[in-house]
Structure 1
Amino acid sequence: MKYFIASDIHGSAYWCRQMLQKFEESGAKRLILLGDLLYHGPRNDLPRDYAPKEVIAMLNPLRDRIYAVRGNCEAEVDQMVLDFPVMADYALLALNGLHIFATHGHIFNEEKLPPLMDGDCLLHGHSHLLKAEKLCENGISFYHLNPGSTSLPKGGNPNSYAILNERRFTVYDFSGKELASIEIS
């Protein structure tokens, strides 16, 4: 099964529209959102076409197709306007035979690991830096996956999203160019 993964929309109506177009084109069953959906945060510049109310209007009709976790910019007021759960710090997902710890990345990340077992996946956003790698920490081998940022990429990365297709995690830019990929065994 195919899943579409994105993070850090930060209230950009422009990039949310682009993301949803790619989501529909992808044929993915679900949209996994890794936080920072509506607010740009005090450390970020305003993203292109900053319009959180438009982002709300685009995401709410997809409420039955979205899995989401809370980013460091989410607040209780965001949950009041979103029709899908967005306040959990993490989600444990069993997808395509994989065990995935999905989180935003401000609490758990590759430097502050959640409880993982060999072969598990740590999926997060927050850093705005895309990743598709296998790491080993304290004798535990795990997959470190980050789709990058939909609206405010950092580190010279382009705006990006990811697809989990069966056991392959691939990060793309919005022109469709593959940026990183890893087969999860």
Structure 2
Amino acid sequence: MLFISDIHGCLPALERALEWAQRKSCRHLILLGDVLNHGPRNPVPEGYNPPAVAERLNQWADRILAVRGNCDSEVDQMLCQFPLMADYNNLMLGNKRAFVTHGHLWNDTQLPPLAEGDLFCFGHSHIPMARWQEKRLMFNPGSITLPKGGFAPSLGHFDGKLLTVMDLDGNVIEQASINEF
């Protein structure tokens, strides 16, 4: 599965991410929020085209699990043929529970209730992360559109054992095994 966060309506960045989804034969896309809108504090990205982003993602609608970001709204949901308005979701990665959210309500310093060995998947900060902290795996694929912290645009990939953050050229930024605990 491929993890994409903080698209912010940028069609060229989404196209590059979807190339990775096809290259890695991903069956599912996990969208960690801020899908269509650039947000009032962000610059309008080059290639900003929210209707085209929605149309492109709708082609994957049956393979998307999405959560709402702080820039997503009911108006955005009107364009998307997949549920977009949940604040969080839970999914199983192997035999591990993954709590999936955008990161504006819960984040790596304000966690929801998690057991040892659980995974916390979030976006929002635009800063990539894949590491164990206090026996919980913190995973943030960064942003494909508006990276921060000096990082390149990035996304996440899960191959059944490893959660990997990589830039859009395929260079690994961080990687962690889900079976460490």
Amino acid in structure 2 at the alignment position of 1:175? D
Contact 1:34 1:71 (8 Å CA) reproduced: yes
In structure 2, what is the Cα distance between the partners aligned to 1:158 and 1:93?
28
How far does residue 22 in structure 1 lie from its aligned partner after superposition? Answer: 1.1
Q: Kindly report the root-mean-square deviation, in angstroms, between the aligned alpha carbons of the 2 structures.
A: 0.7
How far does residue 179 in structure 1 lie from its aligned partner after superposition? Answer: 1.0
Residue number in structure 1 paired with 2:178: 184
2:140 corresponds to which of 146, 149, 153: 146
Residue number in structure 2 paired with 1:26: 24
In structure 2, what is the Cα distance between the partners aligned to 1:164 and 1:96?
10
Which ranges of 4 or more aligned residues in structure 1 deviate by more than 4 Å?
Answer: none
How far does residue 57 in structure 1 lie from its aligned partner after superposition? Answer: 1.1
SS at match of 1:39: coil
Query: Which digits, 9 at most, give the CA deviation of each residue in 1:90-142, with x for residues without a partner?
Result: 01101221200000000011111101000000000000000011111xxxx21
SS at match of 2:60: helix
In structure 1, what is the Cα distance between the partners aligned to 2:47 and 2:26?
26
Residue number in structure 2 paired with 1:108: 106
Residue number in structure 1 paired with 2:163: 169
* Gap runs ≥5 in structure 1: none
Residue number in structure 2 paired with 1:94: 92
Amino acid in structure 2 at the alignment position of 1:179? I
Query: Which digits, 9 at most, give the CA deviation of each residue in 1:56-77, with x for residues without a partner?
Result: 1100111001000000000011
How far does residue 47 in structure 1 lie from its aligned partner after superposition? Answer: 1.2
Residue number in structure 1 paired with 2:128: 130
* Gap runs ≥5 in structure 2: none
Contact 1:105 1:126 (8 Å CA) reproduced: yes
Contact 1:131 1:146 (8 Å CA) reproduced: yes
How far does residue 180 in structure 1 lie from its aligned partner after superposition? Answer: 0.8
Amino acid in structure 2 at the alignment position of 1:87? M
The percentage of aligned residue pairs carrying the same residue is 44
TM-score (ref. length: structure 2): 0.97
How many corresponding residue pairs? 179
Amino acid in structure 2 at the alignment position of 1:24? Q
